[in-house]
Structure 1
Amino acid sequence: MSTTITVTGMSCEHCEETVADALADVEGVASVDVDREAESATVDGDADPNALVAAVEDAGYDASA
């Protein structure tokens, strides 16, 4: 299953990496693709969308499912 969330506040490649790392740590995540220009992150796996949003917010960015 694939879930796409909106992520705002990313301005550079380091931001993308920070968000990707935060998402990868969520239980049930198989892979992550973050695109700062599209302001989105697509996650493959069976992770809870609310947990994904919380992980991004904990990393310092705004997110919504």
Structure 2
Amino acid sequence: MNQTFTVQGMTCGHCEKAVTTAIKTLDPDAQVSIDRAQNRVEVTTEQARETVAAAIREEGYEVVS
């Protein structure tokens, strides 16, 4: 299922890698696309939306929506 998150605090490539790694830890088959300029993270996964959001938050980023 496709999920889109608005994530605040991603400022560099390291941030993108941290978010991607957190999501891939939940689901190694997840597809992750990050648009830092738009604060957008798009994820294709079977994981629940709140589970993915929690993984992003655990990395220190704010999930706005």
Equivalenced residue count is: 65
Secondary structure of 1:7's partner?
A: strand
Question: TM-score, structure 1 length as denominator?
Answer: 0.86
CA contact (8 A) 2:57 2:63 kept: yes
Give the structure 2 partner of residue 6 of structure 1.
6
Which structure has greater strand proportion? 1
Give the structure 1 partner of residue 54 of structure 2.
54
How large is the RMSD of aligned CA atoms in angstroms? Answer: 1.6
Gaps of 5+ in 2: none
Moved over 6 A (4+): none
Secondary structure of 1:46's partner?
A: coil
Give the structure 2 partner of residue 33 of structure 1.
33
Secondary structure of 2:37's partner?
A: coil
Give the structure 2 partner of residue 20 of structure 1.
20
Deviation at 1:22, TM superposition (A): 0.8
Question: TM-score, structure 2 length as denominator?
Answer: 0.86
- Whichever residue aligns with residue 45 of structure 1, its letter is T
Secondary structure of 2:51's partner?
A: helix
Gaps of 5+ in 1: none
Deviates more, 1:20-29 or 1:55-64: 20-29
Which structure has greater helix proportion? 2
